[in-house]
Structure formats: C-alpha cells, structure tokens
Chains A and B, each alone.
Chain A
Amino acid sequence: MTRSAWLKPCLWAAILALLVCGLPAWAQGQTAAPSAPAAAATPPPLATDAPIPVSGPSADDQAAGDPSGTKTGTANDVVHADPAKPLTLTDLVNQAGQNRIAINFVWTLVTGFLVMFMQAGFAIVETGLCRAKNANHTMMMNFMVYGFGLFAYWVCGFAFQMGGSAGVSILGGAAPLSHEFTIHLLGHDWGLWGTKGFFLSGATYDVGVMVLFLFQMVFMDTALTIVTGAAAERWKYVAFAVSSVVLGAVTYPIYANWAWGGGWLSKLGTNYGLGAGYADFAGSGVVHAVGGLTALALSMIVGPRIGKYNRDGSSNAMPGHDIVIVLTGCFILAFGWFGFNPGSTLGASGALRISTIAVDTMLAGCTGSFGALLYMWIKYGKPDASMAGNGLLAGLVAITAPSGYVNTLGATIIGFVAGLLVCVSVEFIDRVLRVDDPVGAISVHGTNGLWGVISVGLFADGTNGVKGLFYGDPTQLVAQLIGVGTLLGFVFTTSYVLNLAIHAIVGQRVSAADELEGLDIPEMGALCYPEFVLKPDTTAVGAATSDFKAGLQVARETA
C-alpha cells in the first residue's frame, strides 16, 4: 500500500476521534461557563450566640447501644458554654479549635514518647558494641543520662532554648515563652538565649509549654546519650554525670535556641536573605551533630582505650560482645525515628506532610544500610553486621534535618551517601586521626549530622518553604554552611573547654588497672553478667595491625 493510501484512513480516524472525545467536552465546557455573573448572595451576618437548631441522638437511642459507631461523637458531645442553653456558633468554633490543638497535643506527646524509647535502643546498641566486662557501666551511663539530662533541662536548659520562642501556633501559641536575650550587632538583632521557663514556673505552668518541654527534652537527651558511646569503656562515671548535666543545661540548649528557639541562625533568612534561614527540621545538626561533636571532644580528652593502638600507631580491632542486641537496638532506634522526624511538625492537624516525612525517614534508613553493606562487602569481602547497623543509623541521622523539605528521591540519595560516608569516616577517625570511638558515634552522629545539615541546602525541593541549590536557591546552602561552621566552631569548642575543666576538677578517665579489669566492678560495684566467665584482656597484646580484615581474624582467633 502506498503512503497516501495509509494517510487517508488515518486522517479520517483522527477526525472521528476528535469528534467523539471533543464534542462532549466542548458541550460540558459550554454548559459550565456562566452566561452572566450570578448575583453575589450576601450571607446574613451570623450571631455567634444565636442558638443552632441541631440535636444529637436521644438518650433512649444511646441507651440501646451503638454497634455501628454512628451515634457516638455527635452534637451531643460538643461542649456548651452554658449547658442550660442550646448550642451556639461560639460553642462550635471553640470546639473546633480545641479539637485541632488536642490532635496536635496528642501527636506531639505520642511521638515524644517514641523518641524517649530510643534511649533503650541507644543503650543496647552501645552496650552490645562494648566488651562484656564493661556492660553494666555502659548500660548505667545510658540509663542515668536520661535523669541527669532531664533534671538539667528542667532547671535551665529549656529556658535557654525555648524561653523566647513564643508563637508556636500549632500548639496553641506557647505565649508565656516570651523573652529572648538579644544583642544588636552589625546592624541586626542576634538572639542568643531565652529567659523564660526556668523550672517551668510562673506563667510557663501552661499546657502548651508542657507539651513543648516534653518533646524538646527527649530530643536533648538523645544528644546526651550519643556521647556515652564514644567515651565508653574508660570514662569515669562521676565525670560522665557532670559532663551530661553541663551539656543538657548549657551547650545543647544554646545551639538549639539559635536554630529552633528564635535565635540568630533561624533569622539568617530575614536578616541576610539566606533562603529560609538555617533549616534543620528535626535535628541532624541540633541533636546529632551536637552529640557527635561533643563525643569527639570527649574522645580526644579521655584518649584511646588501652590496647586500641600499638606503638607504631596502628589500630587493633576490639569487637563488641553481642551483635544480637546491637541490631535489635538499631531496629528500636529506627522505630523511634518515626517519632523523631514526623513528630517535629509538632502536630498533625494542618501538617499532613507527616506522611512524606515518615516515608523519607524509612527510605533514607534503608539506603543508608545498603550503602554501608555494599561498602563493607566490596572492600572486605563480608557484609559486616555492625556497620550495616551503623549505616541504617547514619541514613536516619542524615535525613533528620532534610526530612521536612525533600522528596523521596532526595531522601534516597541522602541516605545512601550517609551509608558510604559512615564507613569512610569510621576508618578515617580510627586509623588516621587515631581517635578511639568504640561504637562509631562520632561518624554516625557527627559526620552524618553535618552531612544532613548540608544536604538541606542541596536537596530541599521548595515544597515546604525551603529550597536548596539543586532546585535553584544557592543562598540556602550558605545558611546551612554557617550552621556547620557554628557546630564546629562553637559547639565543639564549648564542649571541649567545659570538658577540659571537668577533667581538671574530677578527672575524666579511670585508672589503667580499672580499665583492664573492666569497669563493672570498679565503677559500678557489680558485674553485668555475674555467671559468665570473662576472658582475660587480650586487646593489650593484640596483633599490631591497622588492617580491618586482619583485625577481624585476630578477633575470631581470640574469641
């Protein structure tokens, strides 16, 4: 058949299709288009105290039971200002407002409870990655950091952080948190710390403030518990107690104020035109990098464990004692992260992006463990379990800041990079810097916390008011880099100086004899596993090798 012979039937078919599909649409459009603007009907003014003629099911109806659920939750359940009078518009509007805030209270409290449960995850991850002879000590640090941190935060930490943050409309305003200490410098106001809310007293004895306190407190405690892992197996318990109180009372709250409490970092957008200002949705920087960098400061001050490094500077592998509880702890943490990130909306009513945030969170954790697994498998020939767990946590840490601002593709990439980054960082910190970090806390939380902060400036897609470099706004990246600089320059140095002072007063490190014996008896007075026969310390005479594979071999032989 010739070309023109094909064309003809095709043309007719196209015309027919246009007629079939297009005519009804055209007709619909014609009928939908108004011929003349309708006269604007002005609604009659509503009297807010006028009675509304509605009624719910009768008492007899309700007494008969409600198996289908259609007679429960009706007009009968709306609270009347004056029970003697019929329902009014004011009653309805008040009830709607109360419901919105109640939904947000419940959401924030329940997600806060999930974050609190992460303490259990941290405790068993860290304990499992330490040797059995230090298990009681490590567990007790993770257990009591909750109490030390909570107390310090109630006394002054919360006031420093959120004392000037009034205007949290999603929780009803939190109006009593009304004063920020501010200095005027370089032509702008710089908010430094809040001044309302010490001991949660006075006007801050308020339901909205209490919700905010609980949620922010469990976040703060997460930062504190990161440090215990990096300094484990040689940290004096009394020094740990003082250091945790200082971090919860001063260092963490000050940085958190700058980022979340109305401080200067959050105002970089309005003051200097840097995107939306420093954006850290759920705390890659505020929580994880603060904890990770404090962990670095502590690890430097207390020094490596005996036997970790040989005289030539090469490192020995010192495997943990229970990989089962390590990976179980990672799962608990991943579960708790659904409180950490989606909960940071501080409400569900009017914040339906919680679904996107939750999916971003699970995706980044997943690709983080992929990244670490692949790295270890390709480089060392085995899919290392503890690094797979650390990869999961690294992905979760990295997505914490951007989870409110990125799409699922961004979350996937951020998580995968975090999984690779945590492996590289662990090797670098262990072999090049020679900083001893038994659980990899500096890499998981410090390195990937900083990566999470930077990734906001790259991957934020603009859907929720923050747009990164890849979506056309390089100024957001500047704000994020200033946040990174502040974490390194302010948070690290403050933690370092304060912990040096604690070192000078009470000493940070246990004696060599106690360390070799294991800290359970010397520090805590009881063994974690009294019925177990603990092997003598082999790490001090371990093979001189910085090679991971050979280290694994040594560990297998001595096990």
Chain B
Amino acid sequence: MKLIGVLLAIFGWLLPVVGLGMTSSTGARIVICLVGIGITLTAILKLLLKDHEKVAVWKQ
C-alpha cells in the first residue's frame, strides 16, 4: 500500500509537468494541475495515511 501511495503521489506531480508540453492552453493547464494535485493529495491522505492508521497506537 505504501509503495502504491508513493508512486501515485509522484504520478500526480509529474502529470502537470508533462502536461505542459501537451497543451499550450492556460485553462487546460490549470485543470491538469488541479487534477494532478488532487491525485497526489488522495495518495497521501487516503492511501499512505490510512496505511499508518492501521497500526496507530490508539487502535491497539
């Protein structure tokens, strides 16, 4: 789960960076950036955090 979370977070970062070369439309670039940020946040807060919460001290 941690590996998937990390890879997804990196993907969410690289998406808008690579997307710069795919379109020159400012609106499209903003949308791609927001999608990328959303993917990264999901990876961090849903996948990675939930994985750590499984072994949190208050759950034991």
User: Quick check: is A475 within 8 A (CB to CB) of the other chain?
Assistant: yes
Partner of A303, one of B30, B34, B52: B52
Partner of B10, one of A434, A489, A500: A489
**Interface residue ranges of A479-535 to B (CB < 8 Å):** 481-482, 484-486, 488-490, 492-493, 496-497, 500, 512
A482 to B59, CA, bound (A): 37
A301 to B34, CA, bound (A): 27
Q: A92-126: contact bitstring with B at CB < 8 Å (1 yes, 0 no)?
A: 00000000000000000000000000000000000
CB of B37 within 8 A of CB of A484, answer yes
Partner of A308, one of B14, B21, B24, B58: B58
Partner of A435, one of B13, B49, B57: B49
B39's closest neighbor in chain A, by CB? A489
A478 to B30, CA, bound (A): 6
Residues of A with C-beta under 8 A to B33: 478, 481-482, 484-485
CB of B34 within 8 A of CB of A433, answer no
Please count how many residues in chain B sit with their CB below 8 Å of the partner chain's CB atoms: 36
CB of B57 within 8 A of CB of A304, answer yes
CB of A493 within 8 A of CB of B36, answer no
Known: A309-B56, A500-B2. A485 touches B21 (CB 8 A): no
CB of B57 within 8 A of CB of A306, answer yes
Residues of A with C-beta under 8 A to B24: 273
Residues of A with C-beta under 8 A to B13: 485-486, 488-490, 493
User: Quick check: is A310 within 8 A (CB to CB) of the other chain?
Assistant: yes
A435 to B36, CA, bound (A): 23
Partner of A272, one of B20, B27, B34, B40: B20
User: Quick check: is A44 within 8 A (CB to CB) of the other chain?
Assistant: no
**Interface residue ranges of A446-479 to B (CB < 8 Å):** 474-475, 477-478
CB of A300 within 8 A of CB of B52, answer yes
CB of A485 within 8 A of CB of B12, answer yes
A481's closest neighbor in chain B, by CB? B33
Residues of B with C-beta under 8 A to A497: 6
Interface of B is mostly: helix
User: Quick check: is A186 within 8 A (CB to CB) of the other chain?
Assistant: yes
A481 to B38, CA, bound (A): 12
A467 to B18, CA, bound (A): 24
CB of A301 within 8 A of CB of B12, answer no
Residues of A with C-beta under 8 A to B6: 493, 496-497
User: Quick check: is A311 within 8 A (CB to CB) of the other chain?
Assistant: yes
CB of B37 within 8 A of CB of A187, answer no
Residues of B with C-beta under 8 A to A186: 18, 20-21
A491's closest neighbor in chain B, by CB? B13
Partner of B56, one of A268, A303, A478: A303
CB of A477 within 8 A of CB of B9, answer no
A310 to B59, CA, bound (A): 8
**Interface residue ranges of A397-438 to B (CB < 8 Å):** 433-435
Task: Please name 24 pairs of A and B residues whose Cβ atoms are closer than 8 Å in the assembled complex, sorted by A.
Answer: A186-B18, A186-B20, A186-B21, A268-B20, A272-B20, A273-B24, A300-B49, A300-B52, A301-B52, A303-B55, A303-B56, A305-B57, A309-B58, A313-B58, A435-B49, A482-B33, A484-B37, A485-B13, A485-B17, A488-B37, A488-B44, A489-B14, A492-B44, A496-B6
Residues on A facing B (Cβ under 8 Å):
186-187, 268, 272-274, 296, 300-301, 303-306, 308-311, 313, 433-435, 474-475, 477-478, 481-482, 484-486, 488-490, 492-493, 496-497, 500, 512
